[in-house]
Amino acid sequence: MKAGEVARRPNDPNAVPVMVRGTLYPSIAAAAQALGVMPSTISGHLRRHGHCDFVGLGQKSPAHNRDAHRTTPISIHGRRFPSIKAASDYLGVPYGWLYKVIRTARPANAGDRILAALMRADAQTEGRA
């Protein structure tokens, strides 16, 4: 047996057959080897979900990952932006700081800093037009 290979025991009475996305495997170990995951991943999915249809597809299955790249629009002083990233680019402030201000407890002067950055960005935009 090569390194990384799982010993197959086709006649083992304790082997649990596993069906993954329509393919029947003779054991958890065989399914794990075919899908490139650990046997504990297969048994964990069976225990948690009752099936193994999402095993080996990556962090999330395609059905769950459908809306992964949708952004949340935000409003800053009445101005709408498609995302926090778009707002930070327009305002010229670091993304991490703006994210923390919007999503967590705001520092006392954060509103003033954001308003000042918005006014500065508007003035620069008008100067270019």
In a domain, 69, yes or no: no
Going by pLDDT thresholds of 50, 70 and 90, the confidence category of residue 3 is very low
Instruction: Identify whether 3 is part of a domain.
Output: yes
> Is 55 found in the same domain as 92?
no
Q: Does 108 have pLDDT greater than 80?
A: no
Residues 25 and 48 in one domain: yes
Instruction: For residues 80 and 43, state if they share a domain.
Output: no
- Tokens representing residue 78 in the block: 């009445």
Q: What is the pTM of this model?
A: 0.45
Please report the pLDDT score of residue 91 as a whole number: 92
Spatial separation of the C-alpha atoms in residues 90 and 120, rounded to whole Å: 10
Domain check: are 24 and 51 in the same one? yes
Same structural domain, 32 and 84: no
Domain of residue 35: give its range. Answer: 1-62
Are residues 38 and 12 both part of a single domain? yes
